[in-house]
Structure 1
Amino acid sequence: MYLPDTDTLPLRPPRAAQTPASPPLAPARPLRVLWLAPYPYSYTPTTHPVPWVVSLAQRLAARPAEVDLTIVNWEETLRTDEEHYEQDGLHFVFLRTPRTRHDILTLYRWRVAVVARWLRRHYRHYDVIHLHGSELQLPAVVAGLPTDEVPVVLSVQGIVSECVKYVPELSWYKALWTLAGFYERRYLPHIQHFLCRTHWDSAHMQRLSPGARIHHNWEMLRPEFYAATRQPLPQPDVARNPQILFVGGHQVMKGFREALATYARLRPEMPGLQLIVAGHVGAREWAEESRRAGLLDLGPDDVQCVGNLSAAELVGWMRRCFCLLHPSYIDNSPNSVCEAQMAGLAVVASDVGGVSSLVRDDETGLLSSLQPEQLAARVRRLYHDAPLRRRLTIAAQAKALRRHHPDTIVQRTVDLYRLLSQGAG
């Protein structure tokens, strides 16, 4: 601040006594945020890595002046009721819950009660509570909390009560997802803030919780896919080695049957065409679906099952194939589609759920019905039209990079926490 030389100022009458200046304001403390999230337990290496959750947590940990993050999850192998540890700037609390069998036999009530009891003892220490997904009964855990004291926001993942409609009948999955769907319908109406990504999840949250506030943000992807955007666009050898990628194992809901049926229609007209299947594929399911599709003479030169892939391995396959085939029955914002767009792989996807929020037909990919004839027609266009493939991949990669830019996602998250903590959400 500029201060003039007092020797040059004219004399003035003395002023009345003034109130001393207020001391400078102390810097604002970071927001104390509590996550209930399926974050991997450090000592269970087989736990699902949930990369979209882990990546966001790591980015928030790098901003300690703004966010102080505690993550709560449960683990059935603990020897004590609670385990606390710190790692990479994050605070972790793991709670001992019943084994999976007992969890199911109690209809999840035991586990819900364990986490809810902990939360009621500690929620006042936090400015915001963030639930990651509704699949694991998290809305039931926070039921009854005074949200005027601590706001609660839920990031939508899948919507179990919708997805269960497409799970094969007479299966354990059907029973378990039906139970999870009951919890979802029963407790989601108590949530007043949702983080959504697509038109589809936004509409369903407004239906399930009328009057709730919908906020928008995308999810982060694995680092390997951001690195892929810095490479030249892939140039698959379609003439000599045409390959289609399907990422879904033998999951019926992900379109395993439709992928095989589509391949059966294309194989006679595309010499050397290979279907690359990523994910788990059981021998029995493979035999059944091959018979169903009329593909009784398949060999490793026709369909290659590559199993569960690391991010780097998946990027490699995406750069070798000319098309991602995603004939899913239901999806919100499938990571495989987002990752393919980042890696520069053209996408043919079924127009279901929130997929059209990711893929604009004939601009950033090709949309289709679930009919194998129509799926095959879309793949055929990509096979024969290299300029189309290039146009779609350039546009899709640029849009995906903007959509999933880490800095944007983290800033929107911090801004939302600040908004909610001020009671302005």
Structure 2
Amino acid sequence: MPNDTRGFVEKLIKPEKVDDRVDKYLEIIADFKPDVIHIFGSENDFGLICGRTSVPVVIHIQGSLPPYLNALFPVGMNKLDFIIGRGLTFRRRIIGWRSELAFKRNATREIGILNKCSHFMGRTEWDKNLVRLFNPSASYYHCEEALRDSFVNGNRFWKYVYNGNMVIVSVISNPWYKGVDLILKTAKILKVYAKVKFEWNVYGVSDIRFFENKYGIKAKDVNVNIAGSVGKEKLVNALCEASCYVHPSYIDNSPNSLCEAQYLGVPVLATNVGGISSLVDDGKNGILFPANDPYTLAGHIITLNGNRELSENLSVAAHDLAVRRHDPETIGTTLYRIYKSIASV
């Protein structure tokens, strides 16, 4: 499928018609004649081919827009902030202003796709329940996802090191629901109230001025370092040298960043949202905390600080689980079995 190479403004003024895109998908299918079509994600328009082709289609659930819409904006935020708030580029203002409307429209489309597709893959109770909700007659297959080779095939592994300074790592992306605000709030609580020396390195984002202005917390004032995007090897090193990994998202299915931290044996703390409880068994291979609860998160960080036994127990259990869960050979065998089953229907 050729990429749409038009600029942001051009796409905004004259978006490509969905029907035209679907027609292109069907032309490619007719030309290639696949035995099975595997679509990653129900939130995009690829799933609109369901019911319009005789080739079996399986959708691998990634995120899901209806529940993501429910958690789109952090507490205290709404779309007006993208007009009056400081620290946003023009592009980010437009995306933010339109995000609620776009999510509503695309969430409605996704529900239609979920209703029409006969086969789904997933890996958490959360995505399994979504399929049951929107299409109880569909087939659901459990299949884990592979991780990047730098995490699976490397020779680095987390080891407990404590020199009086706690190093916290988070890996997030730009959407408002990924928890930048929770990081700032928690860091402020730790800085003001806790006798804990810490630094919090945040990867994946490079500009959080909007959140700093919105919540009145400057990252540098609360020991938060915005590290931007880095290569896989550098991220592996950062995780292995951290005291813990914090996943602050308001909604997620099975985030790779969390799974990668577990694979390396980093003690993880994560919000109990979406499919994360299928990845983290609270108190055994990680610690769960409620979304938008910086006080509980701060308390867990304090508990973990300098606690070698707890840190190492969480580390070993997380690594053992992740090695089994993300075994490439098992995943390949499972995929082949699923494809064969779907193709024979």
TM-score (ref. length: structure 1)? 0.70
Moved more, 270-279 or 324-333: 270-279
**1:183 alignment partner AA:** R
Change (3 A) 1:297 1:233: closer
Q: Is this contact kept in 1: 2:61–2:121, CA < 8 A?
A: yes
Pick from 335, 339, 353 the counterpart of residue 274 of structure 2. 353
**1:285 offset after TM fit, Å?**
1.6
Show the 5 A alignment for 1:106-117. 106=17, 108-117=18-27
Partner of 2:143: 217
Partner of 1:330: 251
Tell me how far apart the structure 2 counterparts of residues 165 and 103 of structure 1 sit (CA, whole Å).
Answer: 28
**1:286 offset after TM fit, Å?**
4.7
Mapped pair 1:255 → 2:179: yes
Pick from 38, 45, 55 the counterpart of residue 130 of structure 1. 38
Partner of 1:226: 152
Pick from 161, 181, 202 the counterpart of residue 236 of structure 1. 161
- CA deviation string 1:373-411 (max 9, x = no partner): 111111111113111010001000010010000000011
**1:419 offset after TM fit, Å?**
1.6
Mapped pair 1:184 → 2:110: yes
**1:331 offset after TM fit, Å?**
0.6
**1:408 alignment partner AA:** T
Mapped pair 1:160 → 2:73: no
**1:115 offset after TM fit, Å?**
1.8
**1:201 alignment partner AA:** D
Show the 5 A alignment for 1:188-207. 188-207=114-133
Q: Is this contact kept in 2: 1:246–1:277, CA < 8 A?
A: yes
**1:224 offset after TM fit, Å?**
0.8
**1:143 alignment partner AA:** G
Partner of 2:233: 312
Tell me how far apart the structure 1 counterparts of residues 215 and 21 of structure 2 sit (CA, whole Å).
Answer: 41
- CA deviation string 1:144-165 (max 9, x = no partner): 223xxx3211111111122122
Percent identity over the alignment is 29
Show the 5 A alignment for 1:383-422. 383-422=305-344
Q: Is this contact kept in 2: 1:250–1:285, CA < 8 A?
A: no
Partner of 2:224: 303
Change (3 A) 1:250 1:298: farther
Structure 2 unaligned residues grouped into runs of 5+: 80-96
Partner of 2:94: none
Mapped pair 1:264 → 2:169: no
Q: Is this contact kept in 1: 2:172–2:202, CA < 8 A?
A: yes
**1:358 offset after TM fit, Å?**
0.2
Structure 1 unaligned residues grouped into runs of 5+: 1-72, 79-98
Moved more, 259-268 or 248-257: 248-257
Q: Which aligned runs of 4 or more in structure 1 are off by greater than 6 angstroms?
A: none
Change (3 A) 1:415 1:373: same
Q: Is this contact kept in 2: 1:131–1:152, CA < 8 A?
A: yes
Tell me how far apart the structure 1 counterparts of residues 142 and 102 of structure 2 sit (CA, whole Å).
Answer: 29
Tell me how far apart the structure 2 counterparts of residues 180 and 366 of structure 1 sit (CA, whole Å).
Answer: 33
Change (3 A) 1:232 1:340: closer
Tell me how far apart the structure 1 counterparts of residues 114 and 299 of structure 2 sit (CA, whole Å).
Answer: 40
Partner of 1:368: 289
Q: Is this contact kept in 2: 1:103–1:111, CA < 8 A?
A: no
Does the residue aligned with 2:43 lie in a helix, a strand or coil?
A: coil
Q: Is this contact kept in 1: 2:179–2:248, CA < 8 A?
A: yes
Q: How many residues align?
A: 319
Tell me how far apart the structure 2 counterparts of residues 283 and 388 of structure 1 sit (CA, whole Å).
Answer: 32
Mapped pair 1:279 → 2:201: no
**1:241 offset after TM fit, Å?**
3.0
Partner of 1:22: none
Does the residue aligned with 1:312 lie in a helix, a strand or coil?
A: helix
Tell me how far apart the structure 2 counterparts of residues 155 and 166 of structure 1 sit (CA, whole Å).
Answer: 22
Name the Cα RMSD after superposition.
2.2
Q: Is this contact kept in 2: 1:290–1:296, CA < 8 A?
A: no
Structure 1 or 2: larger helix share?
2
Change (3 A) 1:379 1:194: same
Change (3 A) 1:329 1:270: same
Tell me how far apart the structure 2 counterparts of residues 283 and 189 of structure 1 sit (CA, whole Å).
Answer: 38
Higher relative contact order (CA 8 A, sep 6+): 2
